[in-house]
Amino acid sequence: MIEKTRLLKVRSRERRDFKRHDLHKKKKLDDKWRRPRGLHNKMRKHIRAKGRYVKSGFGSPCAVRGLHASGYKEILVTSPKVDLAKLDPSECAIRIASTIGKKKRLIIEERARELELKVLNPLRIESEV
């Protein structure tokens, strides 16, 4: 467990920020990595000052790859009929799908509370003034 928390900190500390080429020039471009393909493209030629290039070795450690930042394995719940009893509360946390309505969401959250499962996106009820 101590090793896992250490690796999670390493993963968050060493997370690289890969920018798309010419992102700052066009407003319509997403901040999502796309491989540069131009003939004279400096990033494709791996000129150091032109930004980081995605390549192997920048990945997160295998032991924590795919885990939530809290260290739990994330399970997407789409229905209250899903058997939550099979999940281990020390390893798994649930995320309720965005398509679930308020009524079913409350049922799922109640069952998760009974089973001591962590809900990653609980319903926030605004207090009425």
- Three-state DSSP class for residue 73: strand
- Cβ neighbours of residue 11 closer than 8 Å, sequence gap 6 or more: 60, 61, 64
Residue 43 confidence (pLDDT): 94
Mean pLDDT (the chain) is: 88
Q: Which two tokens stand for residue 50?
A: 């032109």
- Segment 3-28 mean pLDDT: 83
Residue 127 confidence (pLDDT): 55
| Res. 38 pLDDT band, cuts 50 70 90 | very high
Residue 11 confidence (pLDDT): 74
The pTM assigned to this predicted structure is: 0.67
- Three-state DSSP class for residue 108: helix
Residue 97 confidence (pLDDT): 94
Helix (H) or strand (E) holding 118: strand 118-119
